Amino acid sequence: MGFKSFALGVLIRVILIALTAIFGAYLYIQNASVLQGVLFLWILILLSFNLITYTTITNRKISRFLESIRYSDFSSSFTKDSNLGSSFKEMNLSFNEVIEAFKKTRAQKEEQMLFLQIMIQHINTGIISFDSQGKIGVINGAAKQLLQIHQFKDIHDLGKLSKNLLQEVLNLKPSGSFSIKINSDLHLNVQSASFKMEGQSWTLLSFQNIKSELQKNELDAWQNLTKVLRHEIMNSMTPIASLASSLGIILEEDVKENEQGELALEKESFLDLSEGLETIFKRSNGLVDFVNAYRDYTNIPQPELKVFPIKPLFENIRVLLKEDLSKSDIQLICDISPPDMDVIVDQDLIQMILINLIKNAKEAMEKANNRTIMLRAGMDSHSRPFIKVIDHGEGIVPEALEKIFVPFYTTKKSGSGIGLAISRQIMNLHKGNLEVSSIPGEQTVFTLVFK
């Protein structure tokens, strides 16, 4: 019905234009009056303009509707066109409903943005966002209090607090993290995330002062180390003190002086004395070995980082361990993807870790059916290089997975329990990590993750 009303209006205007043109032409021919011709021409122009205006009313409304959305001007409203029919009325109602929906959506987004801003300002973690040019977008109160930088408008202003901090932030990859000591009261842990907003790349940084956590962890570490030292020293010194006391009694009671003034000792007492001294010697050497192992753990040199290809590193390890592994009928398989992969490491220290892990894997595979050890290098989902050492030995029980990195803890009958602790310490010095996963009886994977 609405369409018919609109079509009828168009038809009437077309008929009026046609009749006016015919009548005007007729009068002009009959009277040859230029004035009448001009008059009817103006009437035709007005009628044509009215027709164009009438037929483009829908386009104008759609254009006004789209401009309202484009410029987020939701104050516009569309009146009912009762004279054009019900379809135009429904169109106007639909326009009004859509504008109202946009208005509600914008109000909800503004409420959510306000809530997000309030939440960001009230959390204890420092939050800073900056764009690709370094301009600061969001900075909360915790970040201002933590960093104490006045007029913080650009990420390069971090250099006012610490140039090293600024350099680490600028070099930080998305989803990366690092920790840095600024001063005696400020030790920051920084994490990064990236996102896009309105076509612009942004970086979000979170800052936490982990000084108290580090102090607590340091205290826990010293307490654990003290327990280990006390345990090992008592295990050595208690039998030594007991034996020394027993040997003193033997010397006091069993040594006798003969007529010539010479001291004499019975054979049985001599053998007891000799055995006791040998035991003291062994336990003393054990204690010396323990102290040397502790010294090795606390005196790891700082790595000399250089860009180094993985392939020659793997080949060197293969040559070094070839004879040792062949005696145990174990094959070392190397897999590098991509083949020309490079890492920034201290070659000698990383080689030491890999040799230690491969030897551990060999010892764990004494009864294994699958007698292969795999060295695999590649990139993880965060574009960080990694090296995996995979074996199919007896594995590690879940309760021992983290303990194996504790100094002097070992699951082997022989060994100092210091190798894995030193290996993880070396990876920490590389700003990486040494991780382990194991399915007992199936597979154990040690992973070196680099920055």
Cis peptide leading into residue 338 (ω within 30°): yes
Written as one string, the DSSP assignment of 122-178 is HSSSEEEEEETT-BEEEE-HHHHHHH--SS--BGGGGGGT-HHHHHHHHHPPTT-EE
Q: Which amino acid is at 341?
A: M
Rounded mean pLDDT, 276-296: 69
**Average pLDDT of the segment spanning 286-291:** 66
Q: Which residues of 299-336 are buried (b: 16+ CB within 10 A; e: fewer)?
A: eeeebebeeeebeebbeebeeebeeebeeeebebebeb
Q: What is the pLDDT of residue 3?
A: 43
pTM of this prediction? 0.46
With cut-offs at 50, 70 and 90, classify the pLDDT of residue 6.
low
Of residues 354 and 71, which shows the higher confidence score?
A: 354
pLDDT tens for each residue of 171-187: 888 878 888 888 878 88
Res. 224: pLDDT tops 70: no
Written as one letter, the residue type at 411 is T
444: confidence class by pLDDT, cuts 50, 70, 90: very high
Highest mean pLDDT among 246-250, 274-278, 282-286, 366-370: 366-370
Q: Which residue has the higher pLDDT, 140 or 94?
A: 140
CB 102 within 8 A of CB 69: yes
Of 94 and 200, more confident:
200
Bridge partners of residue 333, in order along the sequence: 374
CA distance 352 to 343: 16
The mean pLDDT of 15-43, rounded to a whole number, is 74
**Lookup result for tokens 């990590």:** 433
Average per-residue pLDDT for the chain? 78
Cα–Cα distance, 189 to 206 (Å, whole number):
8
The tokens for 310 are: 């993985």
Closest CA to 387 of 450, 306, 437, 340: 450
The tokens of 427 are what? 């990876």
CB-based contact 404:385 (threshold 8 Å): no
Q: What is the pLDDT of residues 394-438, one digit of tens each?
A: 888 888 877 787 766 666 655 556 678 888 888 888 888 999 999
Contacts (Cβ under 8 Å, ≥6 apart) of 75: none
Of residues 443 and 280, which shows the higher confidence score? 443
Residue 227 clears pLDDT 70, i.e. is over it: no
What letter represents residue 183's amino acid? N
Measure the CA–CA gap between 60 and 284, rounded to whole angstroms.
Answer: 99
